[in-house]
Amino acid sequence: MRVFLFICVLGWSSFSAASVKITINDTVFDYEGNPKLSEVLEPIALERSWYWQSSALFRVGDSTIDKERSFIIEELLALTSSLDDVKVIRQLVASLESWNLARRLAIPIDFDLARVQPKFNPKFEDGEYLLLLKERVETVSIIGLVNESTVIEYKGNVAAMEYLSDIKATDLSDKSLIYIVQGNGEVKKSGVAYWNNSYDHVMAGSQIYIPFTESQFSKKMDILNMKIAKLATNRIIK
Amino acid sequence: MKTCSTLNRVTFFIALISIHIHGNTQESNAVAPSQMVQGGVGLWQTPTARMMREGSQTVNYTDNNEYRFWSSSLQLFPWMEATVRYTDVRTQLYSNVASFSGDQTLKDKGIDVKFRLLEEDYYLPQVAMGFRDFGGTGFFESEFVSLSKRVGPLDVHLGFGWGYLGAGGNIRNPLCEVADSYCERPGGFSGSGGKIEFGHFFKGPASIFGGIEYQTPIDKLRVKLEYEGNDYVNDRAGELEQNSPWNLGLVYEWNDFDFNLNYQRGNTVGFGVTYKLNLHTAKQVKFDKPPRSIEGVTPAADMKSLNRKRLYRDLYLQGSFLINYSHQLDDEMTIYGYQFAYRDNDEAIERVGRILASELPESIKTYKIVNNAALLPMVETEIDADAFKSAARYEALEPDLTASYQRQEPSAETLANYKANNTSGLFHSVNSFWIQTFGGPESFYLYQGGAILSGGYAFNQNFSISGGVKATLIENFDKFNFTTDRQDSSLPRVRTQVREYVTRSKVTLETAFLHWSDRIAPNLFAQAYGGYLETMFGGVGTELFYSPVDSNLSFGIDLNYVQQRSYENDFDFFDYKAFTGHASVYWRPDFLPDTQIVVSAGQFLAKDKGVNIDFAKRFDSGIIVGAYAAITNVSAEEYGEGSFTKGFYISIPFDLFVLKPAKGRGKIPWVPIGRDGGQMLQKPVNLIDLNQYRSPFYD
C-alpha cells in the first residue's frame, strides 16, 4: 500500500511539474509546454516601458559560469607573484567573487522583434530561467582595476573616455584602453588615451571594465582582460 | 607585359560600379591614413609608419606636373602594405625611335612594400620599414624607416630614408660610419632588371624627413605638411627645381573618395584622387528570398506520396541545387547534384536542407547531400534530420544549424549507390575574355576582348571530347608595331611569341582535346588528356591529385609531353617538343589565416628546372589576391628582361557584382614582364579546381 502511494505521489508530481520555469524579475512563471519567447513576454511586455536593449535571459543552474569564474580567479591569484600591487588584484578577486552570475543566453530579448521574425522568437527548452526586464537606468558601472567598483551617472551621448575623469584607476591598469560591456551583452575594446581615443558610445546601464595593461608583445593580458569582460556579461544586476 | 582575364559574365565591368562598400569610416578625431603622391600611406612625397585597416585597398591617380602616377595600394596584413604603380614621365619620351613608340611619353612600373615593426602605444611611436620601387630598374628606389605618433587630432611623423627619399643627403648616412661600402650608392641594376637589388639597400646619401597631419574640425578635411629629404637633382624627369623642401596640401574625403590638392617644392601645384574600398567588407545587395520556413509545413506522409517533381523543382529554383540522381533507404535519402549559386556552403546546406525537411516524410532521419563536380561525387554532407528541423524551427534558445550536419568524404556506400543520369550528350558554354597590356611602347593600354565558345560531347561520366574557339570582338592590338621582340633569347621561345598567337585571326581554335577523369581511390583523383591543350601547346598529359575533405594540405603531380602549336594556323605544330610537369603541394598554414601557399617543383616548358611558388590571401568578401614567382636554373642573363618569371593576380567572385547569388570568379593577372623561363603549361582542366568543393579556399 505504501509503495503504491509513493508511486502515485511520484506520478502526480511529474504530471504537474512544469517543464519550463521562468522567473521574470521577481515573479515565477511555470509553463507546462515549451513556450516561445513572444508568449513569455506577452503578458508583461506592455506593462512598463522596458529598455529592451538591456533585457537579459539567464539559464539558471548552469555551472559553467561558476567554473569560468574560478579559472579566472586562479589566474588572477597567480599574478600576485609577478605583479607588485597585490592589494588591487585581491580587490578584483573579491569583486568577482561577489558577482551574482548565471549563464546569459546570447539572444536579443525584444518583444517586437520576437513577434516579427521567427529567428528572434525561439522556443524555450526544458529548464529554469531568469528573465531580467529593466526600464532604462541612468547609471554606468565601473569595474576592474579601480580602487573601488562604483556606479556613476550615465552621461548620455558622449564618448567612453568622458567617464574616465570619474574613475580612480590603479597603477596596474592600462592607460590607453577600457572595455565597454554593453547592456546588450556586447563587449568592445575602446581607446581612451591621447594617442588612440575613439568615439565609442556607451549604452545606459553598461559596465566599463578597467583592464590590466596590455602589451603588443604578449597576448596574455589581452586574453585575461577579455575573459573578465565576458564574465561580466553574465552578471545578474537587478 | 601581358595581363589577361577570362570572365564568365560580360556584365563584369558594368557591375563593378554597383559594388556596395562598407568600411573606411573615420572614428574619433584621429587622422585617417591617406595616400601619398606615389601611392601608399604617407604625407606627400614621404611615407609614414601608418597602415590602413587590414583589407583596405586604394586606387590612386595623382598629377605632379612632371609626373603622373597611377597606383594601387593594398593592406594585405595588418603589418604589411603593398603598392604597385605606373609612372608617366611627362618630360621624357618612351624611346627615341619614333617608329617604335611614336610620341608616347616614358612609362615605368614599380612595386613598394612596407612592414610595421612596432605598434604605437602610450609611450612608443609606431615604427615601419619599407622598400620603394625595389624591382631593380626603379626610378624611385628607396629604403626608409618611419616613426609616427598621434597626439589627439595631430599625427606627427619622422622618417629616415636612403635612395630617392634620401637623395638630398641632409644628414650623413650613419651606416657609412660602420662600413665604407655604405657611403656610395651603386648605380644600375644586376642581371636584366626585375631583381631585388639588395646590394643597393641603405647605401649612399641619406636624409631625415617628416611632417604632420592634422584632422581639422571640419570632419572630412585633413591638412598635411611635410619636410622632405630629396633634392630632385637626379630625377628621371630631369633635374627639377626645388625652391623649398616643404610640401603642403589638403585632403578632402567624399564618400569612398579622397581628393587632394598640394603645393610641392615651393613651385609646383599637384592634385590627386583616391578611391577606397575594403576587400574584407565589400559586398553586394542581394534580391533573394529568405530560406524556406518549415514552421507549420506538412511533409509527405511516406515516400510513396512524396511529390518528387515538386521537390526537385524547388531544389533547383529555391535551393539552386540541380539534382542528378537520388537514392533512398527506409530512413535515409541521398541526393546527388550540383550547387550552382550559393558560394557559402552553410547557406547552401541550410536552403537545401529546409526544402528537404519540408517535403520528405518524418521517417527519413538522415539527409545526405552529395555535391558533384563534372558528375563525380566530391563531398557528402550528412544531416541529422531531427536535429536540423529542431534548429530550423528555432526550438532551442541558441539553435545551431551547423551542428546538425557534417561534411565528409563520400562513403563507399554513397559512391556505390550513385548511378549518374545524363552522363552522355552534348554540352556547351560561352565565356567572355579580356586580354590587356599596360605600358607597351605602342600605347600605354592595349586590349583585346571577346568570347570563348566552348562545347563538346561526353561519352560517359568519365570520358569526353571538348574544345573552345576564341572570337575577338573588340581590340586595339592592330597598334602592335612588332609581334616578336628583338631581344636575344637563348631559351626556346615558348611564350614570347604571344603577340603572333593573339593577332593571327579574329577567330582561333584555343583548345580541342579528349579528356578522362575519375576518382581512383579515397581522396585521390586522376585525369588524362590529349589534343590542343592551350593556345600555344598541344600534347598529352596526366595528373594525380590527393585532397582529403576540409584538409589544409593537398598534393598533386602532373606529367605532360607537349609540342608547340603553330601561330600560322589553327592545326599545325612547330618542331619544339618538351616534357613538362610538376609535383605540387597546396598548403594553408595555421599561422597565416586565409592564406594558401602552392609550391610546384619540376620542369617548365622551356625545359628549365626549378620551382614555382604561389602565395594567395583570401579576404572575407571572397576576393583573393596572389603573387607567384618561378625560380629556375636559367640565369638572369639567359632569361632576359625581368630576370625571372613573376606575377600577381586578383580573383573576384561574380557574386559581388550581381544582384542574385552566383558562383564563379574572374581572375585578373598582372604579369610585369613575361619571358620564356619558368613558364608552366596551362592545362585545360586542373584537378585543384576540385578542391573548391572538397577543401574550399576560393569559395
Q: What is the CATH number of the domain that holds A181?
A: 3.10.560.10
How close B117 comes to chain A (CA, Å)? 11
Of A132, A151, A184, the residue at which a domain comes to its end is: A132
If 0-12 CB within 10 Å is exposed, 13-18 middle and 19+ buried, where does residue B246 land?
A: middle
Q: Which chain B residue has its CA at the smallest distance from A109's CA?
A: B397
Residue of A69, A71, A207, A224 whose CA lies nearest to A139: A207
Q: A85 with A147, same domain?
A: yes
| pLDDT at residue B642 greater than cutoff 60 | yes
Q: What is the domain class of B425-694 according to CATH?
A: mainly beta
Q: Report the distance separating Cα B182 and Cα B173, nearest Å.
A: 8
Contact B397 A107 (CB under 8 A): yes
Q: Report the distance separating Cα B37 and Cα B44, nearest Å.
A: 5
Given CB atoms, is B25 within the 8 Å cutoff of chain A? no
Q: What is the mean pLDDT of residues B435-464?
A: 89
More confident residue, B471 or B14: B471
From residue A10, alpha-carbon distances to A4, A21, A33, A119, B90 in Å are 10, 19, 19, 37, 95
A92: CB partners within 8 A, 6+ apart: A76, A144, A145
pLDDT of residue A105: 96
pTM: 0.88
To which H or E segment does residue B367 belong?
A: strand B366-373
Please give the backbone phi and psi of residue B344, each rounded to the nearest 5 degrees, phi first: -85, 120
A238 falls within a domain: no
Helices (H), B466-606: 498-503
Angle between helical axes of B308-317 and B345-359 (0-180°, round to 10): 160
| pLDDT at residue B643 greater than cutoff 80 | no
| pLDDT at residue A14 greater than cutoff 60 | no
Q: How confident is the model at residue B192 (pLDDT cuts 50, 70, 90)?
A: low
Number of A to B CB contacts under 8 A, please give it.
59
pLDDT of residue B552: 93
Q: What is the pLDDT of residues B370-383, one digit of tens each?
A: 999 888 999 999 99
A54 falls within a domain: yes
Q: Which chain A positions have a beta carbon within 8 Å of B400's beta carbon? A: none
Q: Report the distance separating Cα B329 and Cα B273, nearest Å.
A: 64
Given CB atoms, is B123 within the 8 Å cutoff of chain A? no
Residue of B687, B645, B682, B678 whose CA lies nearest to B667: B682
Q: What is the mean pLDDT of residues B423-434?
A: 91
User: 364-403 in B: which are within 8 Å (CB) of A?
Assistant: 393-399
Q: A148 with A206, same domain?
A: yes
CB B518 within 8 A of CB B661: no
Q: Is B33-278 CATH 2.40.160.40?
A: yes
- Which residue range forms the structural domain that includes residue A117? 2-61+105-132
β-sheet bridge partners, residue B407: B381
**CATH at residue A113:** 3.10.20
pLDDT of residue B515: 97
From residue A91, alpha-carbon distances to A102, A152, A171, B484 in Å are 22, 19, 14, 79
Percent over 70 (pLDDT), chain B: 95
Q: Report the distance separating Cα B418 and Cα B151, nearest Å.
A: 67
How does DSSP classify residue A184?
T
Q: How confident is the model at residue B193 (pLDDT cuts 50, 70, 90)?
A: low
Q: Which chain A positions have a beta carbon within 8 Å of B153's beta carbon? A: none
From residue A58, alpha-carbon distances to A25, A97, A111, A236 in Å are 11, 18, 17, 8
pLDDT of residue B190: 65
From residue B592, alpha-carbon distances to B200, B418, B547, B552 in Å are 30, 38, 20, 12
A154 falls within a domain: yes
Residue of B110, B74, B58 whose CA lies nearest to B274: B58
A237 falls within a domain: no
Contact A118 B398 (CB under 8 A): no
Q: Are B33-278 and B425-694 equal in CATH topology?
A: yes
Contact B398 A105 (CB under 8 A): yes
More confident residue, B92 or A207: A207
| pLDDT at residue A60 greater than cutoff 50 | yes
A69 falls within a domain: yes
Contact A105 B397 (CB under 8 A): yes
Residue of B457, B455, B464 whose CA lies nearest to B430: B455
Residue of B270, B217, B212 whose CA lies nearest to B62: B270
Given CB atoms, is B29 within the 8 Å cutoff of chain A? yes
State the Cα angle at B187 between B185 and B193, rounded to 5°.
125
How close A124 comes to chain B (CA, Å)? 6
Q: A94 with A151, same domain?
A: yes
Q: A6 with A54, same domain?
A: yes
A160 falls within a domain: yes
B513: CB partners within 8 A, 6+ apart: B465, B466, B467, B529, B530, B531, B532, B533, B684
| pLDDT at residue B1 greater than cutoff 50 | no
Q: How confident is the model at residue B668 (pLDDT cuts 50, 70, 90)?
A: confident
Map out the domains of chain B as residue ranges.
33-278, 303-417, 425-694
> Does residue A12 sit in helix, strand or coil?
helix
Contact B397 A195 (CB under 8 A): no
pLDDT of residue B636: 80
Q: What is the pLDDT of residues A107-163, one digit of tens each?
A: 999 999 999 999 999 999 999 999 999 999 999 999 999 888 789 999 988 888 888
Q: Report the distance separating Cα B224 and Cα B96, nearest Å.
A: 39
| pLDDT at residue B511 greater than cutoff 50 | yes
Given CB atoms, is B181 within the 8 Å cutoff of chain A? no
More confident residue, B93 or B678: B678
Mean pLDDT rounded to a whole number for chain A: 89
Q: How many CB atoms lie within 10 A of CB B361?
A: 15
How does DSSP classify residue A218?
B
Angle between helical axes of B345-359 and B385-392 (0-180°, round to 10): 100
What is the number of structural domains in chain A? 2
Q: Which chain B positions have a beta carbon within 8 Å of A106's beta carbon? A: 398
Q: What is the mean pLDDT of residues B262-284?
A: 95
Contact A122 B399 (CB under 8 A): yes
To which H or E segment does residue B587 belong?
A: strand B573-587
Q: What is the mean pLDDT of residues A173-199?
A: 94
CB B3 within 8 A of CB B437: yes
From residue B51, alpha-carbon distances to B36, B119, B133, B228, B281 in Å are 12, 10, 18, 20, 17
- Architecture per CATH, domain B303-417, reads as Roll (3.10)
Q: A96 with A125, same domain?
A: no
Mean pLDDT rounded to a whole number for chain B: 90
Percent over 90 (pLDDT), chain B: 72
Q: What is the mean pLDDT of residues B238-258?
A: 95
Q: Report the distance separating Cα B74 and Cα B52, nearest Å.
A: 8
pLDDT of residue A98: 95
Q: What is the mean pLDDT of residues B395-407?
A: 96
Q: What is the pLDDT of residues B22-57, one digit of tens each?
A: 333 335 678 899 999 999 999 999 999 999 999 999
How close B230 comes to chain A (CA, Å)? 30
| pLDDT at residue B195 greater than cutoff 80 | no
More confident residue, B221 or B28: B221
Q: What is the pLDDT of residues B538-587, one digit of tens each?
A: 999 999 999 999 999 999 999 999 999 999 999 999 999 999 999 999 99
Q: Which chain A residue has its CA at the smallest distance from B391's CA?
A: A122
Please give the backbone phi and psi of residue B15, each rounded to the nearest 5 degrees, phi first: -75, -15
Contact B396 A195 (CB under 8 A): no
